[in-house]
Structure 1
């Protein structure tokens, strides 16, 4: 029998699924082309077209929808629905993402225990131990034709900047670039393989095609440096930024498949047998988006049906009533001046913490606010993260610096009109990094240079003292310095409220039954042509 001298392998990657299974939007249950149920149909198609396949999830799997929230907070029995689906689809491995820790380490450990595949994160390490905390740094998959593929998993090391410290107690996160370089050398020295894949839950700090800086080079994302400075990598799978990328950097084939199950990242590798060894003859990356012919996989829908039914019933529970207008018609306008919804969210934070000053964000431009009748669906649609709260003590000048950071969200276009600074839109939207404050009075003048836009900053009718100390409540992400709010890092923590904000909001309604929409107009943004 003649030996086969050529074969093709397809590498399929999902990333940042964020708990999306069903092809609908939980805000209104309208059908959309997202979710793992439809992606599964695409995955089956792709697998059938090639000699061999590898299927990887690149992180941020078990958090992000009401389905995963309801399971993690109220069910906690049986296998996590996302893990159950990955088991069914025979995933080869998964990488730990930063949002895997959001519901606490016990939820993550249970998910890992129930997985039929290994979870990878070479740089997530237990204190005092050399081995990674949750499994293996890498795996080597061997195919029947002798082909050997090494897969190294890496996680963004910025997790301590965002996560609740209790959720990552006993863990340390080694620099992603340093860890990748170390483990690539280890694999090169001690393993035999024909293809080296790095699956990195992190993104690009530079534009892949030009090398131009796309962010502040903080170290959160290091994919470009990994491609340019670490020799021997064949394929780099990325995520975290929710971008759609299929390209090549320094000979490394790269892909990033968006978020929420929009697409699969696909890399086709052609091998040829040369002197008894498999040699890569070609690599090509592309994105496979859900097409109109793709139906949701019936078996996956069936597997998740009961959890989804309970989730939907929970979402439709009536919680309270609004008197007045707390709806959102224009998300951009909400960020230009005080709005009743933002005041309400700050009031909930202040009520739960006892703090006099509060800061929060409008996380998503799809938020619709609250209608007269409020359900859990309305709450989780407007407050989309499982944040807890923290009261920290800051100086007046640090408060001013935070507001200057917020003011950088805006810029003036060539006509003098106010628009969103492109740095908050690319490489991914960061509307959640613009905060609005309650308990103080302030103005931001966008006509002035960045860093000199706070023209009014007062409390109780008196100027904020720059060296004065103030206690402020904010979510745990921001209080840790998340979003490059470095002025909040390592500040004294006065109080921590470990209940999720969604639960705090629900409790606020349940206690009062009726909430009045109010707007004290304590802040505003000024730009050319502004009228009060």
Structure 2
């Protein structure tokens, strides 16, 4: 069932095998018209099936970003997503930047409604110097005779993306320093055999963490919306693994861990990516949750507001790396509305991650493209300022940074 992409290894004999089902950055609970179609209901079926094959040797872990942005979250402020995640029986999660989109108080309410732990190991309230949201920095799970230590880590850069939280109220400590401190404690005091970092960081920072902190065995990341498994050489000379598992319930990472039968230390990792396509039947309970959450909202959003005559490309892979007709269209709209001389839009605000087909254009499609409430500002700037903005927009195109501008 489902399509898979995988790495290839030869596991050592007499090893103990454990499975991790991993996902990150989920926004839309409804399935899409693309392939893989995703959808929380089909995703739940895949999780249930794979976990049933080795329930005492399987963990389900999430790397942040669930409460926003989406058309539904504009109404529910993310509570509908908590209902879905609770049905999955998650073992653990780390916070993501978009989980703060409706403020800290809303995030706290959602955490309270969750039946799984959320982690935050290095993001602090800058005034009290307590961990933000009073979340635990780590979590220990003992399963099948193996003690797993889980650490939650984020990167400083995403503080700048928080739209409704005062940036001066937040301090993010170095993830390598904090990761090493927590991993050492988990090894020594908690007697954990395997230490896993759940992160919401870009690829380069995840790789830096795995390289510089040998006390951590495996990094399961989010924030980036692509997927893959990178093997890196850590400071102790041994291999570590960095994994990301796609986005939006369209993908599920299946991580096979092989532990030494004597020391119970992690020796090798294999990674399969499961595509959530229509071969997975929708889970009935989650289907009902999605229907209840979406029915009333979709009625209001079905109104046609215009017609488009060519497909508009809003895929992350293109709109965050090159010029697209959707980016140009939205920049032209901003230019017309403000009567300015030029318009610049951060492509990270465009969230549809799909091609919008030609034909009737609805409020729902607009909400899928622009689900976040962002301010439009008119400024007097110099030509030199504009050049600097454009150079910044392409300055980190090759390190998975979302700085691409549309204009």
TM-score scaled to structure 2, two decimals? 0.80
What do residues 346-389 of structure 1 show as CA deviations (whole Å, max 9, x unaligned)?
344x38xxx88642256468465997x76422421442444234
Structure 1 residues 11 and 167: CA distance shift in structure 2, 3 A = farther
Structure 1 residues 330 and 84: CA distance shift in structure 2, 3 A = closer
CA distance in 2, matches of 1:66, 1:105: 20
Q: How far apart are 1:128 and its partner, in Å?
A: 3.8
2:371 is equivalent to residue 400 of structure 1: no
Q: How far apart are 1:292 and its partner, in Å?
A: 4.7
Residue 23 of structure 1 aligns to a residue in which SS? coil
* Residue equivalent to 2:194: 195
Tell me the matched-pair count. 377
- When the two chains are superposed, the root-mean-square deviation of aligned CA atoms in Å is 3.4
Contact 2:226/2:246, CA 8 A, preserved across alignment: yes
Higher percent of residues as helix: 2
Structure 1 residues 164-203: aligned runs within 5 Å: 164=163, 166=165, 170-203=169-202
* Residue equivalent to 1:345: 334
Q: How far apart are 1:399 and its partner, in Å?
A: 2.2
Structure 1 residues 186 and 131: CA distance shift in structure 2, 3 A = farther
* Residue equivalent to 1:481: none
List gaps (5 residues or longer) in structure 1. Answer: 206-221, 410-422, 437-532
Residue of 259, 277, 288 corresponding to 2:247? 259
Contact 1:97/1:156, CA 8 A, preserved across alignment: no
Q: How far apart are 1:36 and its partner, in Å?
A: 2.5
Q: How far apart are 1:22 and its partner, in Å?
A: 2.1
Residue 285 of structure 2 aligns to a residue in which SS? helix
Structure 1 residues 393 and 370: CA distance shift in structure 2, 3 A = farther
Residue 66 of structure 1 aligns to a residue in which SS? coil
What do residues 408-467 of structure 1 show as CA deviations (whole Å, max 9, x unaligned)?
59xxxxxxxxxxxxx74x66595x72231xxxxxxxxxxxxxxxxxxxxxxxxxxxxxxx
Structure 1 residues 311 and 32: CA distance shift in structure 2, 3 A = farther
Contact 2:331/2:406, CA 8 A, preserved across alignment: no
* Residue equivalent to 1:136: 136
* Residue equivalent to 1:9: 18
Question: RCO greater where, 1 or 2, for CA within 8 Å and sep 6 or more?
Answer: 2
Contact 1:58/1:200, CA 8 A, preserved across alignment: yes
2:272 is equivalent to residue 289 of structure 1: no
Contact 1:341/1:369, CA 8 A, preserved across alignment: no
* Residue equivalent to 1:359: 344
CA distance in 1, matches of 2:324, 2:259: 53
Q: How far apart are 1:327 and its partner, in Å?
A: 5.1
* Residue equivalent to 1:215: none
* Residue equivalent to 1:303: 289
Q: How far apart are 1:337 and its partner, in Å?
A: 12
CA distance in 1, matches of 2:344, 2:155: 26
Structure 1 residues 338 and 245: CA distance shift in structure 2, 3 A = closer
Contact 1:10/1:269, CA 8 A, preserved across alignment: yes
List gaps (5 residues or longer) in structure 2. Answer: 1-13, 234-238, 314-318
* Residue equivalent to 2:38: 34
Q: How far apart are 1:151 and its partner, in Å?
A: 0.2
Residue of 60, 69, 75 corresponding to 1:70? 75
What do residues 128-170 of structure 1 show as CA deviations (whole Å, max 9, x unaligned)?
4454212111101123x54211000111221232222536563
TM-score scaled to structure 1, two decimals? 0.63
